[in-house]
Amino acid sequence: MKGTILENGYPSIEELKNAHRFPSEERFQKGPVAVIECLQPIPCNPCENACRFGAILVGEPIINLPELQEEKCTGCGMCVASCSGLAIFIVDKTYSATEATISFPYEYLPLPVKGQAIKAVNRAGEVVCDGTVTRVMNVKQNDHTPVVTIAIPKEFSDDVRSMQRLNVAPAEKDHECCADYTYDPADPDDLIVCRCEEVTVGDIRKAIAEGADTITGVKRRTRAGMGLCQGRTCSKTVSKMIADAKHLSGDKIPLDTARPPVKPVPFSVLAGDEDI
Amino acid sequence: MYITDHPILGAEENTEMVNITVDGVPLRVRKGSMIAAALLANGIKVNRYTLKHHEPRGVFCGIGQCTDCVMIVNGQPNVRTCITPVEENMVIMTQNKD
């Protein structure tokens, strides 16, 4: 799974080429063409209907990856804004002797304007080179998904897929609070796990050391998961801590017991005073 | 701070305001916004204090899951303010303040 869309959230060039997502180099040399960087078999086909030349084929079943009939594609760009996954780009490697253009969906404010100098970024969002905006298309058919076209040096045309957002300070490198965090063995004892009952990492480590080997066992000893949110926030972390301590994978730790109601309701609802 | 322009939703057209009180202080806030958002827009970040250690808590998940942002709304405690819209004359209190 190294270097894949599942690991990183964006695809690698090798992954795309292996899945035949790139048109042939001969087709690139004939002019603008769509690059459909769609890798996951999900039920989705707006791109098929967006192409008036019949160049995109999804067919049956609807989870098929869209196949580009590269000889039919004119590079018109109608499919770019239609892709809900923002995964379609128009690449024109014939724009000039030294430059290529990349068209991509750009759902951010402020929009750039034609002629503006921008920083071109790759699939990971890292700055690759300087670029110039050649077109900003936001017609009604785009349905609020503007398509921006930028000119960049030709050698980066397989890498560049967007531009750095304007008027936004770049994220700090060490800013990791939004990552999909569960638990790290180096976490300090006073870190809160169960926010409702104020149960810390140390409390749960102690419970596990005392023999708790299920989420329910930890709950009985510490009250983690017994507060207002009913374990919605902490049970994943508790599960990971038990799995780590027992050297098991997370799916071997049984889920905690879920009982109705599925969302917090006042007692008066259960007593029949009002409808849910 | 409210979002007044959005790339998909467009410009905010709703300028209607409602009156609420927070711990006795009157505020005018945007109609239809969630209580927690209206309070953040007015610089109020603490929604409740914890029971054991009396530590301040504010918005954590923001989607109604974690119950960190609960407040006393019109006399009812444990109301998740991040998913409850403001209404005219709402009386909101910081939970477990004392």
Enumerate the domain spans of chain A.
Answer: 5-163, 192-267
Give the confidence band of A269 by pLDDT, cuts at 50, 70, 90: confident
pLDDT at A276: 54
pLDDT at A22: 96
Whether A265 shows a pLDDT value over 70: the answer reads yes
Any CB–CB contact under 8 A between A168 and chain B?
no
> Which residue in B52, B57, B65 is closest to A232 by CB distance?
B65
Q: Is A256 left (phi over 0), alpha (psi -120 to 50) or beta?
A: beta
Give the confidence band of A261 by pLDDT, cuts at 50, 70, 90: confident
Whether A143 shows a pLDDT value over 80: the answer reads yes
* Number of structural domains in chain B: 1
Task: Output the domain CATH number for residue B29.
Answer: 3.10.20.440
A45 and A68 Cβ atoms separated by less than 8 Å: no
Residue at B73 is within a domain: yes
- Residue B60's domain comprises 5-93
Give the confidence band of A1 by pLDDT, cuts at 50, 70, 90: low
Mean pLDDT of A242-268: 85
pLDDT at A132: 98
Collapse the DSSP code of A215 into the 3-class scheme (helix H, G, I; strand E, B; otherwise coil) and give the result: helix
Any CB–CB contact under 8 A between A232 and chain B?
yes
Measured at the CA of A47, the angle between CA A43 and CA A48, to 5 degrees, comes to: 85
Mean pLDDT of A31-56: 96
> Which residue in A109, A145, A233 is closest to B66 by CB distance?
A233
**CA of A168 to nearest chain B CA: how many angstroms apart?**
15
Of A118-122, A165-169, A195-199, B20-24, which gets the smallest average pLDDT?
A165-169
Any CB–CB contact under 8 A between A229 and chain B?
yes
Residue predicted with more confidence, A4 or A151: A151
Share the mean pLDDT of chain B.
94
Whether A175 shows a pLDDT value over 60: the answer reads no
Residue at B98 is within a domain: no
First-to-final CA distance of chain B: 28
Give the confidence band of B37 by pLDDT, cuts at 50, 70, 90: very high
**CA of A114 to nearest chain B CA: how many angstroms apart?**
18
Contact A144 B8 (CB under 8 A): yes
> Which residue in A197, A228, A263 is closest to B70 by CB distance?
A228
Residue predicted with more confidence, A264 or B68: B68
pLDDT at B64: 92
DSSP lists the bridge partners of residue A136 as A148
Mean pLDDT of A233-242: 92
Any CB–CB contact under 8 A between A4 and chain B?
no
CATH of A192-267, one of 3.30.70, 1.25.40, 1.10.10, 3.40.50: 1.10.10
> Which residue in A108, A195, A228 is closest to B7 by CB distance?
A108
Put simply, the chain A residues between 27 and 56 with a CB less than 8 A from any chain B CB are: none
Contact B67 A266 (CB under 8 A): no
Whether B2 shows a pLDDT value over 90: the answer reads no
Q: A2-11 long-range CB contacts below 8 Å, 24 or more apart? A: A5/A39, A5/A40, A8/A124, A10/A123, A10/A124, A10/A125, A11/A37, A11/A39, A11/A123
pLDDT at A180: 62
Any CB–CB contact under 8 A between A138 and chain B?
no
Contact B76 A108 (CB under 8 A): no
Give the confidence band of B3 by pLDDT, cuts at 50, 70, 90: confident
